[in-house]
Amino acid sequence: MYLITVFGNLLIILAVSSDSHLHTPMYFFLTNLSFVDICVTSTTIPNIVINIQTQSKVITYAGCITQMYFFIIFSGMDIYLLSVMAYDRFVAICHPLQYMVIMNPQLCGLLLLVSCLSVVSLFFCSGLGVYLSSAAPQSSHTSAVASVMYTVVTPMLNPFIYSLRNRDIKRALKRFFGVPVM
């Protein structure tokens, strides 16, 4: 699943960057979402695979804090990028004639910057949430399933949901790999 996530998101990045027809705000945000999805899964999955192979559940305190820090940063960016993408689609649907004026490169860059977003405040808020939720009893199996769903399954499905079903992305990938486009 990790390899599917990484390769699927890399294909999106390659397709968008190689096809000038896809240099639009929607695909700009999609490329950034793909990059962040790779980062989200890469903060946890390699360590999980190593732990499974070595049958070890040990992680140093510094390693845990570092992994948690990057996971929260990239997860926050993921959430905010999805919000920015929703705003982009809102403008495209509700104001189609003014879309390119409203979603100019400066606004797209600003929205991406705000997404990078806002992650610092998310880091502190989520830390508070973890601190407050630690008093509630939880099943370790339920927590593990929820963690795998969020860290592995969701980023793996994003390429399929957002772009690999998209006609423009398919056309760009065919051009990238030298397959004739009809």
Contact at 8 Å (CB) between 25 and 7?
Answer: no
In a domain, 15, yes or no: yes
Mean pLDDT in residue range 57-82: 86
Measured distance CA(84)–CA(89) in Å, rounded: 9
Q: Which of 77-81, 139-143, 148-152, 155-159 has the highest mean pLDDT?
A: 77-81
Q: Could you give phi then psi for residue 162, rounded to 5 degrees?
A: -90, -20
Using a CB cutoff of 8 Å and minimum separation of 24, what contacts does 89-94 make? 89/26, 92/26
Mean pLDDT in residue range 121-149: 58
**Which 3 state secondary structure label does DSSP give 179?**
coil
For 22-26, 82-86, 92-96, 148-152, which range has the lowest pLDDT when averaged over its residues? 148-152
CA dihedral 20, 21, 23, 25 (to 10 degrees): 180
CB contact set of 181 (below 8 Å; sequence gap of 6+): 171, 174, 175
Quote the percentage of the chain above a pLDDT of 70.
76
In a domain, 140, yes or no: no
pLDDT of amino acid 38: 93
Contact at 8 Å (CB) between 33 and 160?
Answer: no
In a domain, 144, yes or no: no
Measured distance CA(23)–CA(82) in Å, rounded: 18
In a domain, 55, yes or no: yes
Q: Is the pLDDT of residue 82 over 70?
A: yes
In a domain, 82, yes or no: yes
CATH number at residue 65: 1.20.1070.10
Q: What is the pLDDT of residues 2-12, one digit of tens each?
A: 888 899 899 88
In a domain, 181, yes or no: no
Q: Is the pLDDT of residue 124 over 60?
A: no
pLDDT of amino acid 176: 84
Question: How many structural domains compose the chain?
Answer: 1
Mean pLDDT in residue range 55-64: 85
pLDDT of amino acid 75: 85
Q: Is the pLDDT of residue 21 over 70?
A: yes
In a domain, 35, yes or no: yes
Mean pLDDT in residue range 81-106: 90
Q: pTM of the prediction?
A: 0.73
Contact at 8 Å (CB) between 45 and 153?
Answer: no
Domain carrying residue 54 = 2-131+156-176
Measured distance CA(107)–CA(1) in Å, rounded: 35
Contact at 8 Å (CB) between 102 and 91?
Answer: yes
pLDDT of amino acid 118: 65
